[in-house]
Chains A and B, each alone.
Chain A
Amino acid sequence: MPLDVAPVIRSYETQRTLNPPGIPALAPPPEGETEDIRRIAGRFGEDIPAAGLHHGNQVVYAQPGQLKALATFLRDDPQLQYETLIDVTSVDRSELPLDGEARFQTIYQFRSYSRNQHLTVVTDCRSGTEGNGTSPHVDSLTSVYRGAEWPEREVFDLMGIRFDGHPDPRRILMPKNWPNHPLQKQAPLGGEEVPFTFTWDDPEFDTLGTQILAAESVAPDLPPGMSRQNMVINMGPHHPSTHGVLRLVVELDGERVVSIDPDLGFLHSGFEKTGENKRYKDFVYYTDRMDYLSSMSNNLGYCLTVEQMLGLEIPERAQVIRVIMAEMQRIASHLFWLATHVLDVSGTGMSLLMYATRERERILDLFEMACGARLTVSYIRIGGVWQDLPDAFVAELKDFLRLMPQKISEYEAMVTEAPLWQERLKGVGHVSAEDALAMGLTGPMLRGSGVDWDLRRDRPYSGYEEYTFEVPTRDSGDCYGRFTLRLEEMRQSVRILEQAVDNLPSGLYRSNNRKVALPPRAELDVSMEALIHHFKLMTEGFHVEPGFFYHGIESSKGELGFFIYSDGSAKPYRLHVHGPSFNNLYAIDHISRGEMLSDVVTNIGSIDIVLGEVDR
């Protein structure tokens, strides 16, 4: 059966007629200089067409021929020491006024943990002539940074850019027979017309149901590198301990794991493409549904990115409320991790699931108090938060905070010292600091290997610099280390919460910049101007200056980054989400090799993935 993706282009989704002339526009060249940029320019000279600061980030444009040399230089130069490649993404600029420039660009985010520096590298893709039409390509960085493997596969899958020298250039998210690369601009958003009629003869129903792929199972190919000499088993996508719809192809020698090939994309929902068709303010609701265990952190990460592109000041009260929400969310997410991890490893540890969800329910109650929703909150909005905290919130939160440390000790008493638990976790899933850096792991996966890095402390946002807390690290690099680390993180979150709730300032809970944030409801009744602002924001939204920006926050699972390329209009031209689960999951093959099959379950739990964020 041929694949029919119902390529409906809905005009109301894509119209840009509201835009003033001059939009769309390309990102402006970066300006200014820093020490690192001088050093890079000194080494590469003419091969760096432009370099400087853009929205406060260091940006270097590189010739495609020099990309690999530049990456090697960034990693190895003693004065630069960019140990990690955080993220790889790409942009298809075909709808921008290009003037003969390359259509595709790839964008890399490098991070130096030792020097606390962040660097963005942009490179044009060479256009090739292979296949039908032109298929752009660029050098792969996998030989320099191992962690580039999956992000590059994702770029290939969604954008159609080939990476020369990539060891495993397969699709990663979409089915292997998918007809297009969905993020290319000429690829339609797809979906189905919403029928506004009940007459079945109406042509609106013609396309209904055509989106379904032929629902037949085909025997999958053996992933490259696996041998039929060993037993190859399939774990998932329907499996109780893969935390969702993850499929692992596991090659086993006896009961020992030889290699693992994760098959992703069973929950691919097209967030990025959808985001490019929504106004900035409307994407907040989607961020909830990515890492659905940390909705608040997702809201926060996205809003911060847009706000910094706008140069928006956030009122102090809103900042503190945001910190409260983000930390409560971290505790909730860690509680859920604890519950499922223990359940997975023991197979029967239902009691801890019940206890941990009991506390989690209390956090969800607090969320519900603040915004009415338990899970998909959309509480943090661009410019502040949706509405002010209700009066009873603070007392209730204080009560919870009194309770929580004691509860954490209770969980610890149940498992931490238990010999069976230690047996199952100690020494399992080991990852060294060098490997963690090379693979681009973040969050507890990184700190569990002894790298002392936390974005909240080292690149503070939302006023985190005002709180005293410790960043726990563990040198063991195994599942047990990560287990105790996360418990300690919960304690630290409680500490931050205590400080925040004691110093909750009064004042605005949302910016009073009416060009960006909605006026309070009460104002609409008395002020014509407020009504106009409201109407304008609701119908057209706000415009963001042309340019691009990457910003990462420390979510419960690691660095959650948003990359936005704006063409000056009211919708993001390109929106990319760097999900920590995606990069951390890449480690599963590395840490499980040579271990038992049952340890794979432990490792999945210890990485703490959420498939909504892996697949996006």
Chain B
Amino acid sequence: MGIEEKVPEGILTTSLDSVVNWGRANSTWPLLFGLACCAMEMIATGTARHDIARYGSELFRASPRQADLMIVSGRVSNKMAPVIKRIYDQMLAPKWVIAMGICASAGGPFNNYAIIQGVDKIIPVDVYVPGCPPRPESLLYAMDMLRAKQRRETIGAGRKVEEPLAVDEIMPLGV
């Protein structure tokens, strides 16, 4: 992850970790990028009732260079796959991916010639959200999970903890 990898381990970085992670977890900007039906629920999550702004994520960025989070909201067709791969590559690290809905997670009802059976075949996924489409609440819970994941990360090299999240780690908003 760029310059952070040059930082030596030590007390300084440990406290720096928590500050940086706090910042990242509270201002994850998603990419303005909708694919199919799930995108409608993603937009609903962004509007007043569900209010994703509580997570500091209301700023959907159209440019991949300004976004931290890609919400793959819908089915990925064979024609779209190279595009998604490229957009993901254009995002700057650190970056995260939420596979929203069963289509993005595993192909869903479309097990046919046109649709790729899960976006994880082309890009790494951090959180899978079940549902067809997932309710906005589910997406918000996915954001909670992502934040728990973000809080564990460290800015130094090679210290990423890869254990499953414990339930009490996924703190609801405001904790």
A residues within 8 Å of B by Cβ? 5, 174-175, 182, 187-192, 194, 208-209, 211-217, 237-240, 244-245, 265-270, 273-274, 285-286, 288-289, 292-293, 336, 353-354, 357-358, 361, 364, 374-376, 611-612, 615
The contact string, 1 if C-beta is below 8 Å from chain A, for chain B 80-111, is 11110111000000000000000000010111
Known: A192-B111, A267-B75, A361-B49; 10 extra A-B contacts, CB below 8 A, are A188-B113, A213-B81, A237-B80, A238-B64, A245-B35, A266-B77, A266-B80, A270-B113, A292-B37, A374-B135
Query: Which residues B95-141 have CB closer than 8 A to chain A?
Result: 107, 109-117, 121-122, 132-133, 135
B82 CB contact (under 8 Å) in A213, A286, A288: A213
Instruction: Tell whether, in the assembled complex, residue A190 and residue B113 are in contact, meaning their CB atoms are under 8 Å apart.
Output: yes
> Which residues from chain B contact A364 at a C-beta distance below 8 Å?
44
- The B interface, classified by DSSP as helix, strand, loop or mixed, is loop
Given contact pairs A209-B121, A238-B33, A245-B35, A274 touches B40 in the complex (Cβ within 8 A): no
Q: Which of B35, B37, B75, B122 has the most CB of A within 10 A?
A: B37
Docked Cα-Cα span, A209 to B62, in Å, equals 29
| Size bin of chain B's contact surface | 35 or more
B residues within 8 Å of A by Cβ? 32-37, 39-41, 43-44, 47-49, 62, 64, 74-75, 77-83, 85-87, 107, 109-117, 121-122, 132-133, 135
Shortest Cβ gap from A602 to chain B (Å):
18
B133 CB contact (under 8 Å) in A192, A267, A286, A376: A376
> Which residues from chain B contact A376 at a C-beta distance below 8 Å?
37, 132-133
A240 CB contact (under 8 Å) in B62, B79, B82: B62
B36 CB contact (under 8 Å) in A214, A289, A361, A374: A289
Given contact pairs A212-B78, A237-B83, A293 touches B44 in the complex (Cβ within 8 A): no
Instruction: Tell whether, in the assembled complex, residue B78 and residue A175 are in contact, meaning their CB atoms are under 8 Å apart.
Output: yes
Instruction: Tell whether, in the assembled complex, residue B62 and residue A267 are in contact, meaning their CB atoms are under 8 Å apart.
Output: no
Docked Cα-Cα span, A269 to B49, in Å, equals 31
> Which residues from chain A contact B133 at a C-beta distance below 8 Å?
375-376
Instruction: Tell whether, in the assembled complex, residue B37 and residue A192 are in contact, meaning their CB atoms are under 8 Å apart.
Output: no
B112 CB contact (under 8 Å) in A190, A214, A267, A612: A190
Docked Cα-Cα span, A190 to B35, in Å, equals 21
Shortest Cβ gap from B135 to chain A (Å):
7
Instruction: Tell whether, in the assembled complex, residue A5 and residue B83 are in contact, meaning their CB atoms are under 8 Å apart.
Output: no
Instruction: Tell whether, in the assembled complex, residue B77 and residue A269 are in contact, meaning their CB atoms are under 8 Å apart.
Output: yes
Docked Cα-Cα span, A353 to B47, in Å, equals 8
Docked Cα-Cα span, A212 to B37, in Å, equals 22
